[in-house]
Structure 1
Amino acid sequence: MTDTPARLLNLLSLLQTPREWPGSELAERLAVSPRTIRRDIDRLRDLGYPVEATLGAVGGYRLVAGTAMPPLLLDDEEAVAIAVGLRAGAGHAIEGVEEASVRALAKLEQVLPARLRHRVSILQNATIPLTRGDGATVTPATLTALAGAVTAREKLRFGYRAGDGTETKRLVEPYRLVSTGHRWYLVAYDLGREDWRTFRVDRVTDPLATGARFTPRELPAGDAATFMAQRMARTQSEFDLDVEFAAPAEAVAGRLPAHLVPAADPADPDRCLLRARVTDSVEWLALRLTLMDVDFTVHGPEPLVAYVRKLSGRLARALPDTAG
């Protein structure tokens, strides 16, 4: 193989397989001399790939963890698997992973060949997640479109449906995407309203980056997370959540949303109490508690007690009447 760039890519692809490659085997695979392999290994090291060499009769080369993340080479199956996994991470708003999933997905889908994008789409459309929070679904295509506009600092057009059903067209300067754990929001400067706004991403339709660049304005709150929290505090009612679980705290903590984990206090070895000030909707809280698959008793707030009572009656009526 006389094409040096192509040979380096093939060599890198082999080394990214988690095993140690003897130099003679690499030379045979690539149809070159062991000396050429040694020179190519040095080239990869110069490019930032940490290739480790071991001496001896059974020595060889392997790629190890370095101080930075170099580019990866993926075959078709690996690329599809990663894209599907990133879509799942983005769609479920996993704490600490969701924003990185969106950024990585935007990069990967930009370079995926059409045939692989089609395979990813088929897999995604054939898969239904077990839970989707309060039922507000967000498509990965919408998330990646918004993420791309945020990263490129491009003005964005989209349709938006307000909570009362009113539909409008918006032109904004997108600032950041924010995940609250069960919903996605876009923080942006609305050029039509001449003010900062937050938009629920599940209510955004047909997002289109205009190509017009902008210089980001200074956000009043300093950062998007603080700004989002302040806006939510204005529009949501706060509740004093008081729930008792028939399970130890360590078992419950692993099933709670991250923002509620610190509030789970042991009552005794077999029970724990969850007391926290929350702004989540009672509907979402009731659903989230039910899906934990742990027996619980709601002591407050009263709106949550009433909704759980209503929900339990509805579920009981959903069962077939087997009497007699």
Structure 2
Amino acid sequence: MDFQPTEDQKDLRAGVRDLLAGRYGREELRASVDRAAATGLSVDRELWRELGAAGFFALRLPESEGGVGLGLPEAVLVFEEAGRALVPGPLVATHLAAGVVAGAAEGEAVVTAFDLDGGLVSHLGEADAMLGLGGVPAGEPVRSADPLTPLVRVSMRTQIEARYNMPGPEEREAGTLLTAALQLGSALRTLELAVRYAKEREQFGQPIGAFQAVKHLCAQMLVRAEVARTAVYAAAVMEESLAELAAAKLLADEAAVRNARDCLQVHGGMGFTWEADVHLHLKRAWVRAKQWGTAARMEEVLAEELMTEARYRAGEPGSAEPYARSL
């Protein structure tokens, strides 16, 4: 099996990166933060429609249903670029809603989902629909760590109804993997920011990247990002493996959070200021680490799958074939 991206996949990734670089660069990101602070709204509806027109949400929808007809590996590459650009909004839920909720595939509708523990829902106040429910429920706003991910707490009754009507196991697993891809993109971006700053910032007459402590931080960031990339890509092509999926989410969450922290350290005092973008990556990584599967849940899944596989390989009586269950 060839795990290297094909030329078409590379072109797809490059096209999405160019689209986002031209449409949602640093100025647009900071404008989104200011707008969210003033209005509580973080989703750029015009950008949402542009993503829909580019096939972002309909990427895995069959061509017979008006979609692009590609698979999960291509979706992972596309979501990686969205994570790199820190595009705000319920990207995963709207992607999963394509073909289910009217307007989701085209980016005309913003769809959220019950993908957080504690009764929390992201972007509920600006959503047109919620996966698993006929409409958009009411809720109580909760302060979020990420200024571009507003949170609302919904009632227990709404939680039960939403969970009961959520998409099937395959789509829930896709949601977990696509969230891991967003985290991967953020981890790669903070690595780039750290290396660039280490080359530009000078102390004692030389770039700070020449100092061993900074070199070690950047090297550790590279290793985390590449290990996470390998795990996420492998899970995308080995769709039947829950162990691969759980490992991908765990590694991507760790890479996103720890790389953002190390990037902040490389920036020094500058990294702690509101003007720097590093804190936006860290805060988004914290929230995403709780979406579509927490670390505790992924660890349980991974441990269960590994034990099941061990019993199956050992030929224990009554042992089931591994990877037969869902998240």
TM-score scaled by structure 2? 0.26
- Structure with the higher fraction of residues in strand conformation: 1
- Structure with the higher fraction of residues in helix conformation: 2
Higher relative contact order (CA 8 A, sep 6+): 2
